[in-house]
Structure 1
């Protein structure tokens, strides 16, 4: 039995998308993005009180990078994964974990725009800097994707899933339009049935807007 413990529009979408791509049977337990994640029951699965947590046939896993590596090793080592000794192994690992570089900036902006509900609680400087850092990540992806359909020459992999989910989150704070290779790559990813299956269901969205400006706009 595989059970994913998931909050919509968080990093756990990365694991949800991967599970859909793998086509293995699994269940999803959805949590609100609140203090439920600090309950003793959830902390037994993920000691920092964060999603995702994965019950994998009685084994408790957390951290998206680790979950990605374990799932690919068990279910798609030569497909979505790149096994040890594979010529693309190092590049695969690099891009799988680059997703967290993007996600840390998106998480900081999620805190500023969503968790801190009043403008006086927010830092315009932090918001502007973090949005600019996301754009730096977009630039790195644009360079990598020039002349490529996917992040690896060998084709679509879990590296695209990991980074693609991070870009899905980052798009709420920094637009992809100025980066044509990135934009086209993301369009290919977001057209995949497994990506669509991992999107939030009606009434479960964390974000209330489709785009958040980098700093508060004074009331007129």
Structure 2
């Protein structure tokens, strides 16, 4: 049984979404990252103290994109991951990693500035630069969506799980305004039954 350590609105939703898309059994352990202290069991899994993390037998992993790639490779093949010889493989790889490295990561300084920093430090140069950089990199997504319904082409893949999380995070918590094409894309991705199940599970924290 795969154990996912995560939170209700964290990057762990990417992992749970993949598990739901693939129909894999798992259990979810909620981690309150705002609590004063973390469970010792969780810190044994990830002493760096961030989520998500998974346990799968003897395997322990952190980092949402790495976990997604592990699950798809270990328990695939799956349509979520195009094969290397697929013409859409390069686009898939680019957007799978852009969703975190190029988009979601830029939102972290914005989030901590907006919600955690002292009032006088919230409107800072670093957070402003991150917002501007996000907007520039968002043009890569917009240009791709002008030619295809999903980021790897006609089919939904894990690249969409990666990027959809980042766009939703930016829109809901960081003041980013998405265009009509990006809004329609989010509706397509998050309208999937697997996403709805993932959200239900992430809020309930129940075992499957």
Is TM (by shorter chain) over 0.5?
yes
Q: Is the 8 A contact 1:5 1:29 kept in 2?
A: yes
Matching of residues 84-163 of structure 1 within 5 Å: 84-100=84-100, 101-116=102-117, 118-163=118-163
Tell me the CA shift for residue 120 of structure 1: 1.9
Q: TM-score, normalized by length of structure 2?
A: 0.85
Q: Is the 8 A contact 1:176 1:183 kept in 2?
A: no
Q: Is the 8 A contact 2:22 2:78 kept in 1?
A: no
Q: Is the 8 A contact 1:36 1:42 kept in 2?
A: no
Q: Does the C-alpha gap of structure 1 residues 84 and 147 become closer, same or farther in structure 2, counting only changes over 3 Å?
A: closer
Q: Distance in 2 between matches of 1:66 and 1:129?
A: 27
Partner of 2:7: 7
Tell me the CA shift for residue 17 of structure 1: 1.5
Tell me the CA shift for residue 144 of structure 1: 1.1
Q: Distance in 2 between matches of 1:186 and 1:195?
A: 11
Q: Does the C-alpha gap of structure 1 residues 164 and 148 become closer, same or farther in structure 2, counting only changes over 3 Å?
A: same
Deviation readout 1:55-114 (Å, 9 max, x if unpaired): 113311111121111111133334111234433333222211111121111111111122
Q: Does the C-alpha gap of structure 1 residues 196 and 70 become closer, same or farther in structure 2, counting only changes over 3 Å?
A: same
Q: Is the 8 A contact 2:89 2:152 kept in 1?
A: no
Q: Unpaired runs of 5+ in structure 2?
A: none
Tell me the CA shift for residue 197 of structure 1: 2.9
Q: TM-score, normalized by length of structure 1?
A: 0.81
Partner of 1:215: none
Q: Distance in 1 between matches of 2:165 and 2:96?
A: 11
Tell me the CA shift for residue 51 of structure 1: 0.6
